[in-house]
Amino acid sequence: MSKKYAPQQFLNRELGQLEFNRRVLAQAEDTGVPLLERLKYLCIVSSNLDEFFEIRVAGLKEQIKLGSISAGADGMTPPQTLKLVREQAHQLIERQYQLFNDDITPALSAQGIKFIRRTQWNEAQQAWVRDFFFREVMPVLTPIGLDPAHPFPRVLNKSLNFAVELQGKDAFGRNSTRAIVQAPRVVPRTILMPPEISGCEYGFVFLSSILHAHVGELFSGMEVLGCYQFRVTRNSNLFVDEEEVKNLRLSLQGELPQRHFGDAVRLEIADNCSPTIAELLLKEFNLATEDLYRVHGPVNLVRLMEIPGLVARDNLKFPAFTPSVPGVLMKKGADMFKVIRKSDVLLHHPFQSFKPVIDFIQQAASDPSVVAIKQTVYRTGVDSALMEALIAAAQRGKEVTVVVELLARFDEEANINWATRLEQVGAHVVYGVVGHKTHAKMLMVVRREDGKLRRYVHLGTGNYHPRTARLYTDFGLFTANEEVCADVNEVFGQLTSLGKARTLNHLWQSPFSMHAEVLRSIQNETRLAKAGKRAHIIAKMNALLEPETINALYEASQAGVKVDLIVRGVCALRPGVKSLSENIRVRSVIGRFLEHTRIFYFRNDLKHDVYLASADWMDRNFFRRIEVCFPVLDKKLKKRVLDEGLKIYLQDNTQAWEMDGEGHYRHKNPRRAARKCAQNELLRQFATQSVKSSR
């Protein structure tokens, strides 16, 4: 039984997330990163912060509203955490806009990519903008004057709006002084001006600038004293009582529209907004002064994410690459079942293509010997070849079972639509287990061979999502190992049927065995170290928060176990603290691709156990989700995971950040040492393999 540690030996989750976004912002600050990619990183920070406020800050406010004073593992109460979050978020956002205005925008301008502000428009540009306004914008605008007959309109979550101060009387003699203009969602937020008008290769005009310039056209005969853009972020947590509802899908469909109108948690306004309007908006949205963020620039930098796609300048982007395909699958029309029967196949995305996964399920859908397909769906996207293949398989009369997680945050609508289409063609669609999100990544095909049924499975660390498979690092494993396949079949049985959980051969499963097995493996290394043997743990994940696991790692460190943790995001463990965690090192790698793999290595007295998982070491993954952690049994593939997924990242000295005991990060700087970048090295390695395989 692990002993308990004091709260000061744990770091705060919310503050850790802000630290993570500082590391992402550092990518936008790095002049060694291609310019348009720097702009993307700036936008990613805004997108991350949106979700942070929608979920984490909203959760803190909800706890405070309910009077909660209970402290987390770090000993901080919700009010204490919210106070520090507000302070640090203000600093982070101020630095973000400073970088946008003083560094990235001038650098883009020097490359002929300009954001043309209305104060800079010449006569030809003014004429073009005016024509665009009356042709594309004016017809879809509905200005709302604020008076007793026109109360403050419902403002959508994260939508662009304008508060207008007016003077004079309108057509009915009303002396209204304020109005709200909601920017139409059908009009892009950045508009590309023709080069002959803009005077540069790529000249962009913000929709906010166009509305500012012509807002007077909406209030004929009145004087516009001020026009100020604003944006409100709302609580986006869905409140569905899974224990009470009779039909989760119907209840969720009813709840989704309300996400746009949850309680406000943040107000962003232009820095020139008058104190009167700022006070009016804060009062309207029931927010405190600390929830107000004045920004010098567009209130929604996320919208600039589309700019790199509109600019054909490859020299300002990361070099293009083509994911490789394992040699055994290179042959056109390769029989995937034959290949997998012969030996397990490991895919390392995005360096290796996700196409074999699509090929596998498409072959299964068209193969007359395949009798059944089962798959979990967490995030798969609006347009998915995999889902289309499942639909085709069901149409051909195969038994298709899909476990769809309806509560996959921000993917609920897409998943509901897929569930509907699958049901329409006769597939069995289930929604997992009430109270537990199905986060496991599993695909199983049952095939009749020589009069017997044989199973094939694919297990992964990432979602069945072709687009993110090009952006996230993940591992996927194909196997026909009978014991592993039996384990996967058992987990599918739990998800679709009823009954007690049985002991599995190889898989660790949440919420039943994974937490206990992780603790057992850590404690085994501790025991070996105490016996004088060499002990080593390497774990790579997105977040490390679960207190008992952290306690076990502290005890392992004190026993002499070497612990290397590669944690991309939030880590509540304090590394390198004397007499507590001197043998623990924590690093975060931030690069071109989002590090998403979950890999757990235990030396285990030279047995070298290697596991891949869908789960991070967090409370929710251990206790409130259906997750699977699976071993890599093939020795060659085990070595690949160690080399490609762990060792190369421990050697990285360009994109790695070392964490100290206070939760602060220091960017590794090679200086005299040779530069080592894990992601770039893997790109080179797999490009070479691809060339060799094609010979």
Pick the last residue of a domain from 264, 281, 316: 316
Residue 600 counted as domain residue: yes
User: What confidence score (pLDDT) does residue 242 get?
Assistant: 45
**Residues sharing a CB contact under 8 Å with residue 38, sequence separation 6 or more, in sequence order:** 27, 28, 29, 30, 104, 107
| CA 551 – CA 624 distance, rounded (Å) | 20
pLDDT bracket for residue 151 (50, 70, 90): confident
- DSSP letters spanning 508-542: EEETTTHHHHHHHHHHHHHHHHHTT---EEEEEES
Do 372 and 246 share a structural domain? no
| CA 297 – CA 97 distance, rounded (Å) | 7
User: What confidence score (pLDDT) does residue 1 get?
Assistant: 45
632 near 612, Cβ under 8 Å? yes
Closest CA to 547 of 69, 77, 74: 74
Percent of the chain with pLDDT over 70: 92
303 near 190, Cβ under 8 Å? yes
| CA 430 – CA 406 distance, rounded (Å) | 10
User: What confidence score (pLDDT) does residue 408 get?
Assistant: 54
| Alpha helices (H) in 248-331, listed in sequence order | 248-255, 275-284, 307-310
23 near 665, Cβ under 8 Å? yes
User: What is the pLDDT averaged over residues 57-67?
Assistant: 90
663 near 15, Cβ under 8 Å? yes
Distance of CA 206 to CAs 102, 193, 303, 544, Å? Answer: 18, 10, 10, 40
CB neighbourhood size of 669 (10 A): 10
Q: Is cis: bond before 511, omega within 30 of 0?
A: yes
Pick the last residue of a domain from 488, 503, 518: 503
User: What is the pLDDT averaged over residues 532-554?
Assistant: 97
pLDDT bracket for residue 407 (50, 70, 90): low
- What mean pLDDT, rounded, does the chain reach? 90
Q: What is the pLDDT of residues 642-667, one digit of tens each?
A: 999 999 999 999 999 999 999 999 99
Do 306 and 167 share a structural domain? yes
Comparison of pLDDT for 436 and 507, the residue scoring more: 507
Residue 88 counted as domain residue: yes
| CA 581 – CA 604 distance, rounded (Å) | 20
| CA 547 – CA 618 distance, rounded (Å) | 8
Task: Tell me: pLDDT of 245 over 60.
Answer: no
What secondary structure, in 3-state letters, does 114-132 show?
EECCHHHCCHHHHHHHHHH
User: What is the pLDDT averaged over residues 109-116?
Assistant: 96
Residue 322 counted as domain residue: no
**Residues sharing a CB contact under 8 Å with residue 220, sequence separation 6 or more, in sequence order:** 171
pLDDT bracket for residue 355 (50, 70, 90): very high
Task: Tell me: pLDDT of 510 over 80.
Answer: yes
Task: Tell me: pLDDT of 383 over 70.
Answer: yes
Comparison of pLDDT for 497 and 166, the residue scoring more: 166
Domain range spanning residue 653?
509-694
Angle between helices 35-51 and 78-99 (to 10 degrees): 160
User: What confidence score (pLDDT) does residue 252 get?
Assistant: 47
**Which of the residues are catalytic?**
439
Q: Give me the amino acid identity at 518.
A: V
| CA 305 – CA 301 distance, rounded (Å) | 8
Buried b (16+ CB within 10 A) or exposed e, 295-320: bebbbbbbbbbebbeebeeeebbbee
Torsion angle in degrees (nearest 10) through CA of 247, 249, 250, 256: 140
Percent of the chain with pLDDT over 90: 72
Q: Is cis: bond before 148, omega within 30 of 0?
A: no
**Residues sharing a CB contact under 8 Å with residue 422, sequence separation 6 or more, in sequence order:** 387, 390, 391, 394, 400, 402, 404, 429
Distance of CA 116 to CAs 38, 60, 120, 130, 640, Å? Answer: 19, 39, 7, 14, 50
Do 416 and 284 share a structural domain? no
Comparison of pLDDT for 672 and 17, the residue scoring more: 17
Closest CA to 461 of 354, 342, 564, 363: 354
Do 687 and 662 share a structural domain? yes
User: What is the pLDDT averaged over residues 546-556?
Assistant: 97
Exposed / middle / buried, residue 236 (Cβ in 10 Å: 0-12, 13-18, 19+): buried
Structure-block tokens of residue 597: 């793999």
- DSSP letters spanning 33-102: S-HHHHHHHHHHHHHHHHHIIIIIIHHHHHHHHTT-----TTS--HHHHHHHHHHHHHHHHHHHHHHIII
Q: What is the pLDDT of residues 575-607, one digit of tens each?
A: 999 999 999 999 999 999 999 999 999 999 999
Do 524 and 499 share a structural domain? no
Task: Tell me: pLDDT of 246 over 60.
Answer: no
Q: Domain of 385: which CATH number? A: 3.30.870.10
Do 300 and 350 share a structural domain? no
If one counts the domains in the chain, the total is 3
Region of 389 on the Ramachandran plot (φ > 0 left; ψ -120 to 50 alpha; else beta): alpha
Residue 326 counted as domain residue: no
- DSSP letters spanning 458-487: EEESS-S-TTGGGTEEEEEEEE--HHHHHH
Pick the last residue of a domain from 487, 503, 519: 503
Torsion angle in degrees (nearest 10) through CA of 472, 478, 482, 488: 30
Do 351 and 496 share a structural domain? yes
| CA 155 – CA 285 distance, rounded (Å) | 10
User: What confidence score (pLDDT) does residue 411 get?
Assistant: 61
User: What is the pLDDT averaged over residues 443-448?
Assistant: 96
User: What confidence score (pLDDT) does residue 430 get?
Assistant: 85
Q: Domain of 257: which CATH number? A: 3.30.1840.10
576 near 585, Cβ under 8 Å? yes
Do 147 and 91 share a structural domain? yes
Closest CA to 152 of 291, 74, 57, 261: 261
Residue 324 counted as domain residue: no
**Residue for token pair 């979602």:** 463
**Residues sharing a CB contact under 8 Å with residue 399, sequence separation 6 or more, in sequence order:** 371, 372, 373, 428, 446
Residue 350 counted as domain residue: yes
User: What is the pLDDT averaged over residues 68-91?
Assistant: 92
pLDDT bracket for residue 265 (50, 70, 90): very high
Do 131 and 62 share a structural domain? yes
Do 59 and 40 share a structural domain? yes
Region of 584 on the Ramachandran plot (φ > 0 left; ψ -120 to 50 alpha; else beta): beta
Residue 327 counted as domain residue: no
Do 49 and 86 share a structural domain? yes
- DSSP letters spanning 209-266: HHHHHHGGGGSTTSEEEEEEEEEEEE-------TTT-S-HHHHHHHHGGGGGGS-EEE
- DSSP letters spanning 612-629: EES--BSHHHHHSEEEEE
Residue 444 counted as domain residue: yes
Do 199 and 75 share a structural domain? yes
| CA 116 – CA 106 distance, rounded (Å) | 12
Task: Tell me: pLDDT of 15 over 90.
Answer: yes
